[in-house]
Structure 1
Amino acid sequence: MAAPLIVLSVSPGERRVALRRGDTLDAAFVERPHRPEGLGDLHVARVAARAPAMGGVFLALTGGETGFLPDSEGGKGRGEGDWLRAAVTRAAQGGKGPRLAARPSPEAVTGPVRLLSRGPEAALRLAAQNPEAMIVTDHAATAARLRGVLGTARIELSARPAFDDALEEEFELLSGMAVALPGGGRLTLHPTPALLAIDIDAGAVSGGRDATAHKALNAAALAEALRQIRLRHLAGAILVDMAGMAIARRRELLPGLAPLVAADPALKLMGLTGLGLIELQRRRVHTPLHEILGDPPSPLTRGLAALRRGLAEATRRPGARLALTASPAVLAALADCPGALDDFTERAGALALRPDPLCPPGQEHVHAE
């Protein structure tokens, strides 16, 4: 089996990180440095309130943010106004603040609330989990920084965009909630505040009477569903509705699903519900991709994608004066993203912004003037 490869694409306002095993995308992260996920950050925090019904305390963090410290992670016995060091163990998600765990301090902790250190970025987390993996990036400053942490042997600076067409296509797929299945059919993912629902559509197979074909399609669809859950950092309660199988026959799929579930330490197979839905539970850790990218993609997501395409255009047409035509909402989102437009200017030259209220979402484009 080929050694895993970490691919890091750096563009204005965004870092995209992929873990590849051969031709398979095995992990995906989208990071926006102006709004870091915060996992692993170490804070000096103050107890703002006790929540007996929840079994923990709320902590006031820097920037006016509030996190939750369970009693089992060091909240027990702490009262309002207490100071402590705490690390983020679960990123903010679903409209809720981060979850924390108390960390010992060699000396007394006092205010003000402040950030002591940032947790590792995705590329470094993946490098620690995959010590044999090389990291390929297309950004010189990032390559130099990573070499200072991991050494020169593991970091390769690419003169071409780090993401090839296949990776670009995979990440584009992750920005939507429908996933086509090989041989027909599709998965549709429906995240809600309470749970994630996944529907399997059998496509052309649904009209046939071949029970073996239905079983094979559902087994393949379930395997892809687990992969999509992992790639998108989806978690909490998960229900999967299979296609075209009687409830009694759906139970036949559970033994084959068990080893796939076991490969994801955060995932548990709970069984089959009375309605014949496969029930899963996944521990929440990272912010789900759809909360970063938006569903549908947010104006900022579309604007940053346009800047990526603009860098490619600048490479093809060195010295050309470039302009970005996009809706006012997209341009406003870029203006509010610290450093994104400045980074583009530094790497590709000045970019004129051309608002077009009639520009449809997804049709933003950088062009030569």
Structure 2
Amino acid sequence: MSERRLFLDKGVGEQRGVVTLDGRPERLLILRDDEAQDLRIGARHRARVRKVEPQLGSAFLELAGGAEAMLDFKPDARPVQGSAIEVEIRAEPRRGKLALARAIGPAEGAPQLLAPPPGLKAQLSAFAPGVSVTEGEAARQVADEAEAEALDIVHPLPGGGRLSIEPTRALTAVDIDLGDRQGQETKRVARQANLAALGAAARLLRLKGLGGIVVFDLVGRGHDGNALTEAARAAFRPDNPGVAIGPISRFGTLELLIPRRTRPIA
């Protein structure tokens, strides 16, 4: 059974929270004193609906202090332009993209921050309820290692081989390489490497804070689609709701859609 542990490093002007999975860093949360917290996950706002785009199913929201966020809506829940609405931030802004909010209900009054986001300790505990949070020197060492791994591009695979994770503006590419992975039957070795890569990449993508479209360049040919799809479902289950897995293409690639929630660590 997988084991998760929690660590909180409190430094000067910065706190770093780490979730480890079976001894390896799985999530890295960084909170800096000089950064505004209004657009972090969990912050609640009274917002004004500035503009409604029915064809996109989206509305642009004005928040306190002139900040903006985007709200997706269903056809039967279209907001009224100019109205006030209470929302919660569900995805943080990233390069060139607004924060995403979810509607809580109608409101009255001017835009205002109603509640700050949960503190770092509370965010960590949500990933592993009931697990104690380790602080001090041990937490600092774990956080340093997590940050270094989050910023790496090439990562070793268990059993040999490596995978490379490189984000672009449109998608994140994951390349699987057999490297020095040993075995007598090439097809079996390739299958084992692909399965190992799915599990490793799921942890690393969470650690790096990456989401959106992810494309795996699988190694080998004649892939067992059912086995790889089931492995992907299991590996990315912690990222639900919202994970979508496509079929393996004739070019030997596997596409996934992973919800974006936090800003990328890089």
Same topology, TM > 0.5: yes
Structure with the bigger RCO (C-alpha within 8 Å, sep 6+) is: 2
TM-score range, shorter chain: 0.7 to 0.9
Higher Rg: 1
What is residue 258 of structure 2 aligned with on the other side? Answer: 282
Match of 1:284, SS state, is coil
Q: What's the CA shift string for 1:175-205, capped at 9, x where partnerless?
A: 1222122444321112122211111122124
Alpha-carbon shift at residue 282 of structure 1 (Å)? 0.8
What is the rounded CA distance, in whole Å, between the counterparts of 2:75 and 2:40 in structure 1? Answer: 18
**Divergent runs of 4+, >6 A:** 206-209
**Residue 203 (structure 2) pairs with residue 227 (structure 1):** yes
What is residue 44 of structure 1 aligned with on the other side? Answer: 46
Give the number of equivalent residue pairs. Answer: 262
Describe the shift of the 1:133–1:3 C-alpha distance in structure 2 as closer, same or farther (beyond 3 A). farther
State the TM-score, normalizing by the size of structure 2.
0.86
Contact 2:8 2:17 in 1 (8 A): yes
What stretches of structure 1 of length at least 5 have no aligned partner?
Answer: 139-159, 291-369
Q: What's the CA shift string for 1:293-312, capped at 9, x where partnerless?
A: xxxxxxxxxxxxxxxxxxxx
Aligned counterpart in structure 1 of residue 146 of structure 2, from 170, 173, 198: 170
What is residue 173 of structure 2 aligned with on the other side? Answer: 197
Alpha-carbon shift at residue 265 of structure 1 (Å)? 1.8
Alpha-carbon shift at residue 172 of structure 1 (Å)? 0.6
What is the rounded CA distance, in whole Å, between the counterparts of 2:23 and 2:6 in structure 1? Answer: 12
Q: Output the amino acid matched with 2:46.
A: V
Describe the shift of the 1:86–1:3 C-alpha distance in structure 2 as closer, same or farther (beyond 3 A). same
Contact 1:137 1:162 in 2 (8 A): yes
What is residue 112 of structure 2 aligned with on the other side? Answer: 114
Match of 2:89, SS state, is strand
Match of 1:174, SS state, is helix
What stretches of structure 2 of length at least 5 have no aligned partner?
Answer: none
What is the rounded CA distance, in whole Å, between the counterparts of 2:75 and 2:29 in structure 1? Answer: 27
What is the rounded CA distance, in whole Å, between the counterparts of 1:239 and 1:46 in structure 2? Answer: 37
Describe the shift of the 1:75–1:58 C-alpha distance in structure 2 as closer, same or farther (beyond 3 A). farther
State the TM-score, normalizing by the size of structure 1.
0.63
Q: Output the amino acid matched with 1:249.
A: H
**Residue 223 (structure 2) pairs with residue 249 (structure 1):** yes
Q: What's the CA shift string for 1:56-104, capped at 9, x where partnerless?
A: 321111232211122239961411x322222212211242111112323
Contact 2:198 2:231 in 1 (8 A): no
Contact 1:271 1:280 in 2 (8 A): no
Alpha-carbon shift at residue 209 of structure 1 (Å)? 6.3
Percentage identity across paired residues of the two chains: 26
Match of 2:18, SS state, is strand
Aligned ranges 1:123-272 → 2 under 5 Å: 123-138=121-136, 160=137, 162-164=139-141, 167-205=143-181, 210-243=186-219, 245-246=220-221, 248-251=222-225, 253-266=228-241, 267-272=243-248
CA-atom RMSD, angstroms?
2.7
Match of 2:223, SS state, is helix
Q: Output the amino acid matched with 1:88.
A: I
Describe the shift of the 1:257–1:104 C-alpha distance in structure 2 as closer, same or farther (beyond 3 A). closer
Q: Which has the higher helix share?
A: 1
Match of 1:54, SS state, is coil
What is the rounded CA distance, in whole Å, between the counterparts of 1:256 and 1:161 in structure 2? Answer: 33
Contact 2:176 2:216 in 1 (8 A): yes
What is the rounded CA distance, in whole Å, between the counterparts of 1:118 and 1:129 in structure 2? Answer: 19
Contact 1:84 1:110 in 2 (8 A): no
Contact 2:28 2:143 in 1 (8 A): no
Q: Output the amino acid matched with 2:9.
A: S
